[in-house]
Chains A and B, each alone.
Chain A
Amino acid sequence: MPWVEVFGMGILDNIISQNGYQVVLRNLGYFLGGAGYTIFITALSLAIGMVLGLFAGLGKLSANKIIYMLSTAYIDFFRGTPLFVQIFLLYFGILPVLYDNDPVSSAIIVLGLNSGAYIGEIVRAGIQAVDNGQMEAARSLGMNQRQAMTYVILPQAFKIVIPPMINEFIALLKDSSLVSAITVPELMHRGDLVFANTYEATWVFGAIAVIYFVITKTISVIGDNVERRLATD
């Protein structure tokens, strides 16, 4: 039985199991509904993350000491602590103080804050990757700092950050499985529930993995297309 040892989960036993196949078929609609939640939560968190990330990234480049320190503290905290910890800390600790928080909105907030920190670093790196001469040229034409950023630097940084942003999007989508712990009915949570009642690890999580893969592959294909369309030279 070396296979069993290698794969840990008794892969041969489970693949042979007819029952597992039926478990997946029976729950397919349930899983796809969970995937809907996963996409919904990821999309909204990404939107929040992009806004926060833009400000945090610009903040890290700011000459204003206070803005710089706030941005750095925000990015360091959310990048420097595990997402799982952040989920529990905010869900049970901080958010209940602010409002009557439910799992879905809490998940969107935590994932948004977390991705904002990563996107902040992406934005910062993207801006710094734009040649310094671009800023000088814009300023020499009489643009102020904000105009130069808006019309010259950010549009170029935008193109530079697309590949790391696609990465972040995919990472966020996968990380969203962690909010399963606070009972958000997304894909991983539903897989967990079905698994707990059927013990069909290979079939259930195999199906979950395939669904995640299809979503992430779709994102990366779309990302490649966007990248190609925006190429100017």
Chain B
Amino acid sequence: MKKFGLLLLTTLLTVALVFSVAGCTGQKQEQKVLKVGTNATFPPFEMQENNEFTGFDMDLIRAIGEEQGYKVEINHMDFKALIPALGNKKIDAAIAGMSITEERLKSVDFTKAYFNAGLIIAVANNNETIKTTEDLKGKKLAAQNGTIGAAYCDEVKKLDAKTEVRIFDDIGAAFMELEKGGVDAVVNDHPVTAYYLKTTGTSKAKMVGDIFSADDQYGIAIKKGNTETLNMLNEGLDKIKANGKYDEIYKKWF
């Protein structure tokens, strides 16, 4: 029995070794790989369903990959870890509902914008005090770490020091905090909040006011100076916009 186990183990190891070597060489010959990082807690842009990454961004990057002859490999990581991961080449590109900002442009390059987002305020259903961005001052606000929404909350706090800002690692927890009554409002990208309310939170929360920071545009981030990937992605984006694929994906999610 012991001998059999040993034999089995050796066989498995050998097989695994052969396949991994074969896998490496095989890939290089067949297709180029695009390693993409995302934070799959941001529906409907990126999320995880049945063990697969789905959402608008996921469909978009796969379509671009297909168009440009790349095999797209998606990795989930913390939103705030995406930019450092580009820096040390753990990933080639990051697509995660990431807004193009001055601050981020210091660290990474962005493709052309592929989505126009804008922020929106979400409050509890019974909340009648918050109706516009003006009303956020002095309230308890929640947002996701590293997002435009979080940056906006910090700005509000600068205007009124009584404002309490609570920053969560994923946006789902921020919405749960809103439902629980721990915060007065969640400031986040409009499409995400709209999707969340539509799918899970309609009974407890609502959106108020207009979409603001309307110049908030999503782009795909790449390591600074990586023009090869940048051009490839921009070209792919143009192609799917031209052939109707982009519209198809947009309709699917919004």
Shortest B141–chain A CB gap in Å is 11
Q: Is B87 touching A8 in the complex (CB atoms < 8 A)? A: no
Determine if B181 and A10 form an interchain contact, defined as CB atoms under 8 angstroms apart.
Answer: no
- In-complex Cβ contact of B88 among A13, A101, A197 (8 A): A13
> Smallest Cβ distance from A164 to chain B, in angstroms?
32
Please report the C-alpha to C-alpha distance between residue A202 and residue B90 in the assembled complex, in whole angstroms.
Answer: 16
Is residue A51 contacting chain B, with contact meaning CB distance below 8 A?
no
Complex formed: what's the CA distance from A193 to B165 in Å?
11
The one of A13, A96, A103, A192 that contacts B80, using a Cβ cutoff of 8 Å: A192
Q: Given A196-B145, A196-B146, A182–B173 Cβ distance below 8 Å? A: yes
Interface centre among B79, B83, B167 (most CB of A within 10 A): B167
Interface string of B145-184 (1 = CB under 8 A from A): 1100011000000000000001111000100110011100
A4: contacting residue among B88, B168, B169, CB under 8 A: B88
Check: B103 CB closer than 8 A to any chain A CB: yes
With contacts A193-B145, A196-B145 taken as known, whether A181 is within 8 angstroms of B173 at the C-beta atoms is yes
Contacts of B151 in A (CB 8 A): 197
Report yes or no: B84 in contact with A92, Cβ–Cβ below 8 A: no
Smallest beta-carbon distance A41→chain B, Å: 16
Interface size class for chain B?
20 to 34
Contact (Cβ within 8 A) B167 A183: yes
Residue of B nearest to A8 (CB): B88
State the Cβ distance, A194 to closest chain B Cβ, in Å: 10
- Complex Cα distance, B89 from A102, in Å, reads 40
Q: Do A8 and B168 touch (CB < 8 A)?
A: no
Residue B107 CB within 8 A of the other chain: yes
A contacts with B, residue count (CB < 8 A): 24
Which residues of A are found within 8 Å of B90, using beta-carbon distances? Answer: 8
Interface of A is mostly: helix
Say whether A25 faces chain B, with CB atoms less than 8 Å apart.
Answer: no
Q: Is the CB of A100 within 8 A of B103?
A: no
How close is A76's CB to chain B, nearest CB, in angstroms? 27
Q: Which of A102, A193, A197, A201 contacts B84 (CB 8 A)?
A: A201
Q: Is A213 an interface residue (CB 8 A)?
A: no
Closest CB in chain B relative to A90 CB, distance in Å: 12
Contacts of B87 in A (CB 8 A): 10, 13, 199
Residues in B with CB closer than 8 Å to A92 are 173, 176-177, 180
Identify A183's interface contact among B81, B84, B166, B181, CB under 8 A. Answer: B166
**For A182, what are the chain B residues with a Cβ–Cβ distance below 8 Å?**
168, 173
* Inter-chain contacts of A189 with B (CB < 8 A): 167
Interface residues of A in 98-151 (CB under 8 A from B): 100-103
Among B81, B83, B89, B167, the residue within 8 A (CB) of A193 is: B167
Known A-B contacts A4-B89, A8-B88; A192 and B180 likewise in contact (beta carbons under 8 Å): no
Distance of A182 Cα from B173 Cα, bound (Å): 8
Shortest Cβ gap from A55 to chain B (Å): 30
Alpha-carbon gap, A92 to B142, bound state (A): 15
- Interface members, chain B 58-84 (any A CB < 8 Å): 79-81, 83-84
| Interface flag for A195 (CB, 8 Å) | yes
Q: Does A9 contact B (CB under 8 A)?
A: yes
10 more CB-based (< 8 A) A-B contacts, given A92-B173, A180-B169, A181-B169: A9-B84, A13-B87, A92-B177, A101-B182, A102-B182, A103-B166, A195-B80, A196-B150, A196-B167, A197-B151
